[in-house]
Structure 1
Amino acid sequence: MHKKEWTIPPDFILGAALSAWQSEGWSGKKDHQDSYIDLWYKENHHVWHDGYGPAVATDFKNRYQEDIGYMKTIGLTHFRTSINWSRYLIDYENAVVDEEYALYIENVVDELIANGIEPMICLEHYELPAYLFERYGGWESKYVVDLFEKYAEKVMERLGDRVKHWFTFNEPIVPQTRMYLDAIRYPFEQNTKKWMQWNFNKTLATARVVKLFREKKLAEQTGAKIGVILNPEVTYARSTAPHDQEAAEKHDLFFNRMYLDPAIKGEYPQELYDLMHKHDIAFQFTEEELNIIRTYTVDYVGLNLYFPHRVQARMNGWNEQVPFHPRYYYDPFELPGKKMNPYRGWEIYPRIMYDMALRMKEEYGNIEWFIAENGMGVENEQRFQNEEGVIQDDYRIEFITDHLFWLLKAVREGSNCKGYMLWAFSDNVSPMNAFKNRYGLVSINLERNRERSLKKSAYWFQELIKTRN
């Protein structure tokens, strides 16, 4: 099938995303306003590629007007970013707002709207304040849930009249998976029970903020909606054999249904409770908290999809001296002959869009949703410059085209998908990889004062948005 067979609905979102910590830089940041990411960078500077991290990033904080000008040139309908919780407040316990940073955020929102771009605001994209991490254990603490709600209220008071797309978290499962399940990020502690508590408390925090949003009647005032951005790991079993199918079901339970079910259906799968009890990893909860989760489900969800996850039944026994990990039930499976992005080490399998879209339709009540992130990171893109200095990223155009094809096929078949957001608007800092792999429509030249320039994909995306076919 070819691109010419597409039909992109006229109101279908075609936008792009960036997070605060990956773009803003530390300009104007006060010493006590470190986020968890800042703390990690300071503690483990050596693991970040070429030493680049969030300190300067793309300097979006000082160059947002320039960047939004590029967004307008491309024609983006929507732009998603986050607010850096650690910088929005100067007192996390009492939710005292940092007026300088809050004004910057308001200016960004106003600049987007003035340029015809709809702002989409996420309240936490790994920007947990370091103070709350070090003092209370971060999302291990129910008290931090209280403080997050206070922070959300302050943001809604300032932006509730302008922002129509609200999200509690981006990829809420990721930080603690890297920190406490796989122990590959600071503080490098393998602690599955702590991992589970972080997962539960973030789900509770989402429900609490949805409750706050409803009490403030923002939907009635502006037509606003609130949701969460998840990164389901679209799971495929090695074979149709029962043992491989069970391995895929367990993987799906721990990494997908863990968040999708309570956010959308308002409840956790019974099997998850059973396995938590069996392996002594149960999170602490109250019936009142479960009732809040049951009552305050999201209006819609954003899904970040990049690559498939293939699993098989475990081939060897589990070392009982090792704390429980979901891999107790599965091993990764390497599909022979798979198409790869060699720079990121990820398989390219565009059908994940279609398969996840049909799942949203069939298993999750056909709730409204959209692709919140999809993209391709490539190393050393400067080698693809033409004589005019434009990066000829045809591989990115092919990647987007193939994934959009499968997504729009699902839309034609009735999946309630409302849009596609590219990761990312511009090249930006990623955890540890820093600027190694570039994802942007807009190039950031580190050797020339972070000079911006449009890649070939930006001109292609511009035409796609204009013609919708």
Structure 2
Amino acid sequence: MAFRKDFLWGGACAANQFEGAWNVDGKGISVPDLCTNGTKRNPKCITTEIRENRFYPSHEAIDFYHHYKEDIALFAEMGFRVFRTSINWTRIYPTGMEEEPNEKGLVFYENVFKECKKYGIEPLVTLSHYEMPYALVEKYNGWADRNVIALFEKYCYTVFDRYQNLVKYWLTFNEINGGVTPLGTTLSLSTVRGYEGPVADAPVSPQVRFEALHHQLLASAKVVAYAHEHYPQFQMGDMNVFLTAYPLTCDPEDVLAAQKHNHVINWFCSDVQIRGEYPSYMKRYFKEQGICLEISEEEKEILKRGTVDFYTCSYYMSSCITTHEGEATVEGNLAGGAKNPYLQASDWGWQIDPDGLRYSLNEIYERYRIPIMVVENGLGARDEKAEDGQIHDSYRIDYLRRHIEAMYEATEDGVDLMGYTPWGCIDLVSASTGEMAKRYGFIYVNKFDDGTGDLSREKKDSFDWYKNVIATNGQCL
């Protein structure tokens, strides 16, 4: 058992979840900076201004901003060949509307990427990972206004030019199809103007949701086409949350309901970004939801020109779809579903399904026939130190081992899989709950949900395990 010789092993993080330094060196306020902490039972909230009596975990996070050399050295020790990270838009353009970029922000990412290259690590950079300038939310209601497209283009072209010799692999929007779901809308489209309260309850109409998503799809296509024209060395990818769903029963109604779920949630955005046009099945969905999108011929041409080179996704779990009432349900990443009686779940109720990853990769590759990278996958768990002071996270090793085995089986099935970057390779703030207690990393960070902790880094058992996986190219699990 081994993967292709040039397989990109690594790990993934996001700027707003691990960078910290929220108001340092000219950085502006982004939407995550106004998100409080939360838990599984008490959701994090959005406030329209910083409150002294609330805790905002992204403000310090794990302070990668001041620890990046130490952290990248640890990634290199594990043998990373690729490191997926993102750029905070507000570190480059604090409000998104400045004429000139913030030089100190540009220098920071330049130093990060140079540090990666020093160790032979390729940066894989997400341009927008669940963050945008809050000033654009106040003025435009986020991506609901098409004026934001040009501002996003300016930001992208600035970083393309600055990092053209340091970054080869780019992703436009993180989990762009999350905008189909109400929770994903709040995280990725930031249509939350004037709203205060739990993130999960932010009110956004289906019409506004899909208008905002359409603007993101246009923005993605524009910057991909620009990159292809001006920087032929770039490889441009999309990024989707793959929410694998099976029909709960063999009732044809359940089968049709699962098909509809997969069309809208899993295939819609990637069909646009890879095939270059809106799929026919969305016409009925828009009609049933009372959604009317004005898409000009010029915009259709933009979508055709801006198709991506490779496909990436996050995969954590699967669920079931049913039309039957009274079935048990489970929670999940942006969306839950009916409980699968054959699966176990994590501490946060996410069902664990390695075979679902193999199934999903086969479905994706058969549909698109372009290279695939799994850029998020992992187990959020409550890591506790043992009596010897170490963190023996055998449960994480077991989860990752089984998913790596599933990926290998998918390659044997014929899938062109180019890389794997498990999520939260170093502990960070959870995007879904805003807490540190939900840990994913190979590296433990002494930072806790009350804001305490000295930010020191420690290796978990999974650190050396993953190091050996990379060194043997997946042969030793």
The answer, yes or no, to whether TM exceeds 0.5 is yes
- The offset of 1:331, in angstroms, is 9.5
Q: Distance in 2 between matches of 1:161 and 1:236?
A: 43
Q: Distance in 2 between matches of 1:187 and 1:313?
A: 24
- The offset of 1:43, in angstroms, is 12
Equivalent position SS for 1:335: coil
Equivalent position SS for 1:126: coil
**What's 1:61 paired with?**
65
**What's 1:205 paired with?**
219
Change in Cα spacing, 1:236 to 1:129, as seen in structure 2 (3 Å) is: same
Retained in 2: the 8 A contact 1:179–1:190? no
1:362 alignment partner AA: E
Equivalent position SS for 1:423: coil
Retained in 2: the 8 A contact 1:122–1:169? yes
Equivalent position SS for 1:309: strand
**Sequence identity percentage:** 29
**What's 2:362 paired with?**
358
1:272 to 279, 282, 304: 282
**What's 2:245 paired with?**
235
**What's 1:191 paired with?**
205
Equivalent position SS for 1:281: coil
Q: Distance in 1 between matches of 2:302 and 2:173?
A: 17
2:435 alignment partner AA: A
1:313 to 306, 323, 341: 323
2:266 to 249, 256, 269: 256
- Structure 2: runs of 5+ lacking an equivalent: 46-53, 188-196, 327-334
Q: Does 1:300 align with 2:310?
A: yes
Retained in 1: the 8 A contact 2:178–2:240? no
- The offset of 1:51, in angstroms, is 3.7
- 1:12-70 CA-to-partner distances (Å, cap 9, x unmatched) read 111001100101112553787111111333999x8449945101000000110010111
Equivalent position SS for 1:371: strand
Q: Distance in 2 between matches of 1:464 and 1:113?
A: 21
Q: Does 1:439 align with 2:444?
A: no
2:409 alignment partner AA: K
Q: Which stretch shifts more, 196-205 or 101-110?
A: 196-205
Change in Cα spacing, 1:95 to 1:418, as seen in structure 2 (3 Å) is: farther
What TM-score does the superposition give when structure 1 sets the normalisation length?
0.89
1:83 to 66, 87, 90: 87
Q: Distance in 1 between matches of 2:338 and 2:453?
A: 43
Retained in 2: the 8 A contact 1:90–1:96? no
**What's 2:348 paired with?**
344
Retained in 1: the 8 A contact 2:206–2:289? no
2:199 alignment partner AA: R
The structure where helix makes up a greater share of residues is 1
Q: Distance in 1 between matches of 2:268 and 2:161?
A: 31
- 1:246-280 CA-to-partner distances (Å, cap 9, x unmatched) read 10011112211221100111122212122202321
Change in Cα spacing, 1:135 to 1:179, as seen in structure 2 (3 Å) is: farther
**What's 1:327 paired with?**
none
Q: Distance in 2 between matches of 1:179 and 1:269?
A: 21
Matched residue count = 441
**What's 1:414 paired with?**
414
1:202 alignment partner AA: Q
State how 1:35-54 maps to structure 2 within 5 Å. 35-41=30-36, 47-48=43-44, 51=55, 53-54=57-58
- The offset of 1:355, in angstroms, is 0.8
Equivalent position SS for 2:123: strand
1:286 alignment partner AA: S
Q: Distance in 2 between matches of 1:43 and 1:303?
A: 26
Equivalent position SS for 1:80: strand
Retained in 1: the 8 A contact 2:125–2:170? yes
Retained in 1: the 8 A contact 2:373–2:419? yes
Q: Distance in 2 between matches of 1:142 and 1:82?
A: 23
- The offset of 1:412, in angstroms, is 1.5
Q: Distance in 1 between matches of 2:209 and 2:291?
A: 9
What TM-score does the superposition give when structure 2 sets the normalisation length?
0.87
**What's 2:397 paired with?**
397
Equivalent position SS for 2:112: helix
1:96 to 100, 114, 122: 100
Q: Does 1:378 align with 2:373?
A: no
- The offset of 1:448, in angstroms, is 4.2
Change in Cα spacing, 1:354 to 1:147, as seen in structure 2 (3 Å) is: same
Q: Distance in 1 between matches of 2:80 and 2:337?
A: 37
**What's 1:324 paired with?**
none
- Structure 1: runs of 5+ lacking an equivalent: 1-5, 317-329
**What's 2:51 paired with?**
none
Q: Distance in 2 between matches of 1:434 and 1:399?
A: 21
Q: Does 1:26 align with 2:21?
A: yes
Change in Cα spacing, 1:18 to 1:99, as seen in structure 2 (3 Å) is: same
- The offset of 1:294, in angstroms, is 1.7
Change in Cα spacing, 1:291 to 1:198, as seen in structure 2 (3 Å) is: same
Change in Cα spacing, 1:268 to 1:314, as seen in structure 2 (3 Å) is: farther
Retained in 2: the 8 A contact 1:181–1:191? no
Q: Which stretch shifts more, 88-97 or 100-109?
A: 88-97
Retained in 1: the 8 A contact 2:38–2:434? no
- The offset of 1:128, in angstroms, is 0.9
1:372 alignment partner AA: V
Q: Distance in 2 between matches of 1:257 and 1:462?
A: 34
Q: Distance in 2 between matches of 1:398 and 1:277?
A: 45
Equivalent position SS for 1:430: coil
2:106 alignment partner AA: A
Change in Cα spacing, 1:267 to 1:314, as seen in structure 2 (3 Å) is: farther
1:115 to 100, 115, 119: 119
